[in-house]
């Protein structure tokens, strides 16, 4: 006998003989205002199996308790706050920050190139307007 537990778009099959227990998922989430707290709670309220959500604004910490997949919870929160990570990943943050800086540098270079191309195209379309 199998029990099907639905989490978002994925189906998770859990054996009925196995005892399914609720777990705590702790995440570090940057919160800028109390409106962010409401957004996080609202986003997590749509997931099945979550019993409670505790948001600590001072520690920038979100604790979720329920029968859920940790990765699905993190993915849901990352839709609202991209910098969210699990609470125990503080050591690996240094390497993640370096990688993010490299990506930002590359994207800023690409945006500069795109801006120049767009400016050239704009000049071709409207040649009468004087540009600096």
CATH of the domain at 80: 3.30.70.100
Percent of the chain with pLDDT over 70: 69
Range of the domain at 105: 20-123
Could you tell me the pLDDT band of residue 1, with boundaries at 50, 70 and 90?
very low
pLDDT top residue among 102 and 112: 112
Is 130 part of any domain? Answer: no
Q: Determine what percent of the chain is predicted with pLDDT higher than 90.
A: 11
Count up the domains in the chain and report the number: 1
Asked whether the whole model's pTM tops 0.75, one would answer no
Can you give the pLDDT at residue 90?
A: 54
- Tell me how far apart the alpha carbons of residues 90 and 44 are, in angstroms, rounded to a whole number: 23
Would 15 be classed as within a structural domain? no
- The residue behind tokens 């910098």 is 83
Nearest one of 42, 94, 34 to 60, comparing CA atoms: 34
Q: Is the pLDDT at 11 greater than 50, yes or no? A: yes
Is 43 within 8 Å of 101 (Cβ atoms)? no
pLDDT for residue 89: 66
Query: What average pLDDT does this structure show over 61-81?
Result: 89
Residue 1 domain-assigned (yes or no) = no
> What sign has the CA pseudo-torsion 120, 124, 125, 129?
positive
């Amino acid at each position: 006998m199998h029990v099907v537990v639905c989490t978002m778009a994925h189906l998770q099959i859990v054996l009925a003989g196995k005892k399914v227990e609720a777990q705590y998922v702790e995440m570090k989430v940057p919160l800028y205002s109390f409106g962010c707290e409401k957004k996080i709670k609202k986003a997590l309220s749509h997931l099945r199996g979550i019993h409670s959500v505790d948001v600590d604004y001072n520690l920038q910490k979100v604790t979720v308790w329920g029968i859920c997949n940790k990765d699905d919870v993190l993915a849901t929160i990352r839709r609202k706050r991209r910098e969210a990570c699990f609470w125990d990943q503080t050591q690996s943050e240094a390497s993640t920050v370096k990688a993010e800086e490299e990506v930002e540098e590359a994207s800023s270079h690409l945006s500069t190139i795109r801006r120049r191309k767009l400016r050239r195209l704009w000049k071709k379309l409207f040649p009468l307007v004087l540009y600096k």
